[in-house]
């Protein structure tokens, strides 16, 4: 049985973000200060239009492993082809998208404006996803622990 709860009901609202004016050192500091490995990139702090994301893995592989200094631009490491979801989709649909795409976190938008982040943990805590999607999400988590 599926639940009609929306992503907006389970997401983490008002996530920390960065803009293209930030550098990768500032991204790393925000990740540390906010205990996260995932930071959305927005057009500006005022409009919060989502334009990309940066993960801790991006910082390591595209940043430091490619010998970019901490003053390198956010654009050097961000992923601009970002999958996001509307605040109104069901948690079951979000779980399916995450399972199919092997994605652990999704930015949540209202129009193009970033309003939150939904993670596997958010879905698991609320026990709101369909059994099939839940099993697939569990597989993503298990794969991460094997590496």
Backbone angles phi, psi at 3, to 5 degrees: -105, 145
Task: Assess if residue 1 is contained within a domain.
Answer: no
pLDDT tens-digit series, residues 103-142: 999 999 999 999 999 998 888 776 545 554 555 556 555 5
Task: Assess if residue 73 is contained within a domain.
Answer: yes
> Domain limits at 103?
7-146
Q: In terms of pTM, does the model score above 0.85?
A: no
Q: Check if the beta carbon of residue 86 is closer than 8 Å to that of residue 30.
A: no
Task: Assess if residue 124 is contained within a domain.
Answer: yes
The first and second tokens of residue 10, run together, are 């389970």
Q: Average pLDDT, stretch 75-101?
A: 93
> Distance (Å, rounded) from C-alpha 137 to C-alpha 124?
9
C-alpha closest to that of 7 among 129, 99, 101: 129
- CATH at 58: 3.10.580.10
Which stretch of 14-18, 44-48, 125-129 has the lowest confidence by average pLDDT? 125-129
Residue percentage of the chain with pLDDT more than 90: 70
C-alpha closest to that of 93 among 80, 81, 106, 82: 106
More confident residue, 130 or 55: 55
The first and second tokens of residue 106, run together, are 């999704």
| Number of domains into which the chain is organized | 1
- Which residues lie across from 55 on neighbouring strands? 38
Instruction: Residue count of the chain, please give it.
Output: 147
C-alpha closest to that of 100 among 85, 115, 78, 116: 85
Indicate the angle between helix axes 91-101 and 131-146, nearest 10 degrees: 40
Task: Assess if residue 2 is contained within a domain.
Answer: no
For residue 146, what pLDDT is reported? 47
């Amino acid at each position: 049985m599926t639940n009609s709860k929306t992503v907006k009901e389970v997401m983490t609202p008002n996530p920390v973000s960065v803009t293209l004016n930030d550098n990768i050192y500032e991204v790393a500091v925000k990740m540390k200060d906010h205990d996260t490995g995932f930071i959305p990139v927005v057009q500006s702090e005022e409009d919060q239009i989502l334009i990309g994301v940066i993960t801790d893995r991006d910082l390591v592989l595209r940043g430091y492993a490619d010998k970019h200094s901490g003053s390198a631009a956010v654009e050097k490491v961000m992923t601009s082809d970002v999958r996001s979801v509307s605040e109104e989709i069901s948690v079951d649909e979000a779980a399916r998208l995450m399972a199919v795409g092997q994605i652990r976190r999704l930015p949540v938008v209202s129009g193009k404006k970033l309003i939150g982040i939904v993670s596997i943990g958010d879905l698991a805590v609320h026990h709101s996803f369909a059994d099939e999607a839940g099993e697939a999400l569990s597989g993503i988590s298990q794969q991460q622990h094997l590496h």
